[in-house]
Structure 1
Amino acid sequence: MKYIINRAIIIKSFIAAMVILGIKNFLLKNLSVYGQDIHDLIELSDITIVFTGAFFVFGLLLAATMSDFKESEKIPGEIASNLEAIKDWIYLAFRAPRTGTTDLCKENLDSPFLRQEMLNITEGIIGWIYSTEKDSNVIFPLIRKSNEIAYYFAERGVDKEAIKGIQENTNAMRKQLTRAYSISRNNFIKPAYTLLQSILMIVMSLLLITKFKTPAADYLVTSAITFLFCYLYLLICGLDDPFDVSDEATNVDLKPIDRFQQRLLSDFLV
């Protein structure tokens, strides 16, 4: 099942190629207009410029979506690094001398509380990334929980460097998740998708009425061009939202955060 999901774009493109090939060579085979077969209305040489222009437009839009995707690939690792840094600052808070004379400053730091807070933050971030709606009302209050750890330490006279480190990494993580939210919610401009869909329909329509020199050329060229254009269209749609975990073929790798969660569960303040 996973093999099929990871190759969904190839499978869909192949099916589209077979459908176009079937329509042309079976449904339109015996249809004609004023004595001219529909599937032989124009010569291939007459429309090569259309295919060239279409590939150029698809290439430009693919490059645009790839730039966002390359940036998105870095985000899970950066978030995991910030969470790891916050964890290390918490360890420092336990070891560094404490200042202050209030009763809170004399209390032992609550290890179970801090462990649970880190687990809640990590699980919340992972759950948000894996969600389909990417609700901002969920993620931003969750990030503020990291600052709650900083406030907890400040009230108990913990080393100021630890508090500063937690806040700096929290702010960096907020920027990364804001960027992930922006990429996920702001899809490519709709007129661009309309252009892609129009080009795709034009190319397929032209292939249905194009004459080739031999049946073998008909089968190979029609199926190959249909496959390539459908593949490019589906690839651009997938890369446009790299945090759409329902599409495993084009989503970013979330292993850095998943692996951090495993380390957190196994060794953090156990």
Structure 2
Amino acid sequence: MKFITNRTIIIKSLIAALFILIIKNFVFKHLNLYGQDFHDLIELSDITIIFTGAFFVFGLLLAATMSDFKESERIPGEVASNLEAIKDWIYLAIRAPRTGTSDLCKEELDKAHLRNELLAITDGIIDWIYSKEKDSNVIFPLIRKSNEIAYYFAERGLDKEAIKGIQENTNAMRKQLTRAYSISRNNFIKPAYILLKSILFIVMALLLITKFKTNPADYLVTSAVTFLFCYLYLLIRGLDDPFDISNDEIDVDLKPIDRFKHRLQNDFLN
């Protein structure tokens, strides 16, 4: 099953190529217009310029989506680094001398509470990234929970540098997740997808009525061009939302956050 889910684009493109071949050889070769067979209405040399222009347009749109994807690849690692830094600041706050004379400053820190809060923040971020909706009403209140840790320390007179560090890393993490939210929610402009679909339809239609010198050339060129254009289209659609985890083949790698969670469960304030 994993082999199939990790190769969905290739499989879908191959199915499209096979479908076009079947339509051309079992349907169009039996149709004609005023005595002219449908499958050889035009010569291949007449439409090569169209294929060239189509590849150029697909290349431009692919480059545009790749830039967002490259930026998205950095976000999980940066979020994990900020969570790791917050964990280190918590360790510093616990071990550094305390100031203040209020009753809260004298009470013992609830380490179980701190551990559960950071685990809850990490779990919430992972669940949000894996979610389909990417609801802003979920992620931003969750990020504020790390500031609650800073407030907890401030009320008890803990190290000010640690408190400042937690807030700075929280703000950096908020920017990163806001960018992830923006990339996930703001898909490529709709007219661009209409253009891609139009080009794809035109290419398929032209292949169905194009005449080739030999049958092997017909099979090879028709299937190859169909496969390439379908693959490019599906690739652009996948790259447009790299945080769509339902698409296992084209998504950002969440291992940095998953591995941080594993370390957190094993060694944080046990």
Q: Mark yes or no: TM-score above 0.5.
A: yes
Letter in 1 for 2:94: F
Letter in 1 for 2:31: L
SS at match of 1:139: helix
Any gaps of 5 or more consecutive residues in structure 2? none
Letter in 1 for 2:194: T
Residue 30 of structure 1: how far off its partner (Å): 1.3
SS at match of 1:84: helix
Residue 107 of structure 1: how far off its partner (Å): 1.1
Any gaps of 5 or more consecutive residues in structure 1? none
Within-5 A mapping of 1:121-136? 121-136=121-136
Residue 143 of structure 1: how far off its partner (Å): 0.2
Distance across 2 between alignment mates of 1:50 and 1:207: 11
Residue 28 of structure 1: how far off its partner (Å): 1.0
Tell me the residue number matched to 2:232: 232
Tell me the residue number matched to 1:43: 43
Over the residues paired in the alignment, what is the CA RMSD in angstroms?
A: 0.4
Letter in 1 for 2:56: F
Within-5 A mapping of 1:110-125? 110-125=110-125
Q: Which moved more, 1:104-113 or 1:10-19?
A: 104-113
Instruction: Give TM-score, length-normalised by structure 1.
Output: 1.00
Query: 1:85 aligned to 2:97?
Result: no
Query: 1:153 aligned to 2:145?
Result: no
SS at match of 1:157: coil
Structure 1 residues 181-201: Cα deviation after superposition (integer angstroms, max 9, x where no partner)? 000000000000000000000
Tell me the residue number matched to 1:11: 11
Residue 29 of structure 1: how far off its partner (Å): 1.0
Distance across 1 between alignment mates of 2:85 and 2:159: 15
SS at match of 1:29: helix
Tell me the residue number matched to 1:262: 262
Query: 1:54 aligned to 2:54?
Result: yes
Instruction: Give TM-score, length-normalised by structure 2.
Output: 1.00
Tell me the residue number matched to 2:243: 243
Tell me the residue number matched to 2:215: 215
Residue 128 of structure 1: how far off its partner (Å): 0.3
Residue 109 of structure 1: how far off its partner (Å): 1.0
Tell me the residue number matched to 1:165: 165
Letter in 2 for 1:162: A
Distance across 2 between alignment mates of 1:194 and 1:31: 30
Distance across 2 between alignment mates of 1:79 and 1:234: 28
Structure 1 residues 146-194: Cα deviation after superposition (integer angstroms, max 9, x where no partner)? 0000000000000000000000000000000000000000000000000
Residue 90 of structure 1: how far off its partner (Å): 0.2
Letter in 1 for 2:156: R
Letter in 2 for 1:172: A
Distance across 1 between alignment mates of 2:226 and 2:129: 34
Tell me the residue number matched to 2:184: 184
Tell me the residue number matched to 1:96: 96
Distance across 1 between alignment mates of 2:140 and 2:30: 62
Distance across 1 between alignment mates of 2:30 and 2:126: 56
